[in-house]
Chain A
């Protein structure tokens, strides 16, 4: 390769590599990329394809094109699917209208260094590190027929409120449990964002005689745009994909119908079929808008 004057200028950035360096670079990106594509992207595309087929899952040759049959089955012949959608929508509304705003409010108050803010921060942060499995067990202690709440209500076991079994309560109880963790999670994210905001912004607003609410709404909230998007994305994705906790409580059978559990029942174990693939694709399509919003937010500078 001949080096002209023009190339020399950029040679610090774009130099020629020795054979060994080329090999090193190739391995450096080749290995991770292979693993990622082979275990994430390829299977994802394969599932999308499989969702349009019938397959017993044993011999590749047996795969039969079925068109939209799996989806038709889900949409028109599986009432449980619509029940699950309803539950997930309520979940999303609850998170969106109550849990997430509470997390933001909490972050805002803690950021103002209100009295006791260090203790509050720790208390609300604690559930965030726990696994959904442990959270399920911990709450089960409070709510089971012989648990704390029924004990407090003074009900004997025979008349105890079945918080997880009774349709009147179970969804709300589960939402409270999920919020227990979600509120702290949102608080942490928002708090970190608030810490990065210029303090003079707030002072200027205070001098102008703005009330707390005005300051938040007109000054802080707009300045938090990037974090707001992340928080919205997390809220939607967590509401759509919720699974662990419900599974822990009901053991994957019956109980509260929710998309995550429905997908699980249809892709793993005895009930596995390509209808499960279609369920997984539906789950994916429901979260595609927040995924794109997230990527757009994170790659705004790069793409420009």
Chain B
């Protein structure tokens, strides 16, 4: 009897507590969104409006002029093109190599399977700075060897390769833990039917990997798109840099063009905002595929 009463009292006080918690979280959520909302707002205001009425005034007009200006003066299409020719091949190759590795490691029993997987996963966690100097020298040396110094250094391919080499470790790990959940019988029946290793991979396993490939694809795209370090150190020509790395210089160059910079930052964020609004499920499951097994 007393415990029931106590239970009810607990419940009521919990309700009050929940309301307070909800309000606190709500206030913080608004604070959380504010920096982005403010940037968006600034990007829509003409510069002269701020000059005339002050930063904190209400706008006399809102338009997309800053966006058009930013695209032209910051040469954003060039940088987006640079991003695309790095991100697309890098994501594709990472997923392809990752699924090859995962396939062999989980479907064919060799002695070194676990060791291989360990090597790849550990490699993925090394700091980029630890590998930079030799990679840089190797790129230059290879360039000298073939007679074109910029074949890998200061070239999108060099950035693609380093991303693939690094991210492959994560992809292999995630895909192999997914493959372990696919019944062995499927592989066995393919082998009994006399399928070659080639057919077994491309016709049987790869189609089954679609869900984790979609999640990983979204996650990898976001990561590689957001990468700052590699394109900064492996490229010397500013005009070849992808948008994320180019932002650093653009910020310096357009530091006084407050609203232009705001528009540029918003445009640079668009691809990742698409991930946020549309591909959220894939992004989150990609993130958690790697962090919690299964």
A→B interface (CB under 8 Å): 12-15, 17-18, 20-21, 24-25, 28-29, 31-33, 35-44, 46-48, 50, 57, 106, 109, 112, 114-116, 119-120, 123-127, 129-134, 136-142, 146-148, 151-152, 180, 184, 188-189, 192-193, 196, 209, 211-212, 226-227, 230, 237, 241, 243-244, 247-248, 251, 260, 263-264, 267-268, 272, 276-277, 279-281, 283-284, 287, 291, 294-295, 298-299, 301-303
Contacts and interface: CB of A to CB of B under 8 A. Distances in A.
A124 B28 CA distance: 9
B38 A140 contact: no
Interface in B1-56: 3, 6-7, 10, 14, 17-19, 21-22, 25-26, 29-30, 32-33, 35-36, 38-39, 42, 54-56
B84 interface: no
B251 A137 contact: yes
A281 B29 contact: no
Closest 10 CB pairs of A and B: A131-B226, A39-B165, A43-B134, A123-B29, A43-B131, A192-B288, A32-B97, A46-B134, A129-B272, A280-B129
Contacts of B182: none
Contacts of B126: 40, 44, 284, 291
B55 A146 contact: yes
B216 interface: no
B26 to A, nearest CB: 6
A126 to B, nearest CB: 6
A57 B6 CA distance: 74
Given A115-B22, A134-B268, A140-B251, A40 B131 contact: yes
B63 interface: no
B134 A42 contact: yes
A215 to B, nearest CB: 11
A117 to B, nearest CB: 8
Contacts of B109: 13-14
Given A28-B201, A114-B22, A284-B126, A209 B3 contact: yes
A35 B55 contact: no
A20 B114 CA distance: 25
- Interface size for chain B: under 10, 10 to 19, 20 to 34, or 35 or more residues? 35 or more
A127 B101 CA distance: 33
A137 B130 contact: no
B161 A12 contact: no
A33 B32 contact: no
Contact of A131 (B19, B32, B244): B244
A281 B130 contact: yes
A152 B228 contact: no
Interface in B83-134: 97-98, 100-101, 103-105, 108-109, 114, 116-123, 125-127, 129-134
Contacts of B138: 38, 43
Nearest to A119: B29
Given A46-B134, A192-B284, A226 B56 contact: no
Given A46-B134, A134-B268, 5 more contacts: A28-B201, A129-B275, A138-B35, A283-B129, A287-B127
B61 to A, nearest CB: 20
Contacts of A130: 226, 269, 272
- Majority secondary structure, A binding face: helix
Contact of B135 (A39, A136, A139): A39
B201 to A, nearest CB: 7
Contacts of A36: 119-120, 123, 165, 168-169
- Majority secondary structure, B binding face: helix
B244 to A, nearest CB: 5
Contact of A260 (B17, B55, B129, B133): B129
A141 B263 CA distance: 12
A129 B293 contact: no
Contacts of B188: 12-13
A280 B138 CA distance: 18
A20 B164 CA distance: 27
Contacts of A129: 222, 272-273, 275-276, 283
Contact of B225 (A41, A112, A131, A189): A131
A18 B173 CA distance: 28
A12 B284 contact: no
17 contacts: A13-B109, A21-B197, A21-B198, A24-B196, A28-B104, A29-B116, A35-B97, A106-B25, A123-B33, A129-B275, A129-B276, A131-B227, A141-B38, A151-B54, A260-B129, A267-B133, A284-B126
A264 B265 contact: no
Nearest to A40: B123
Given A29-B101, A40-B166, A283-B129, A124 B275 contact: no
A211 B228 CA distance: 45
Given A212-B14, A291-B122, A20 B251 contact: no
Contacts of B245: 133
B71 interface: no
B287 interface: yes
Contact of A138 (B19, B36, B293): B36
B114 A302 contact: yes
Given A12-B188, A295-B118, A116 B25 contact: yes
B211 interface: no
Contacts of A35: 97, 161, 164-165, 168
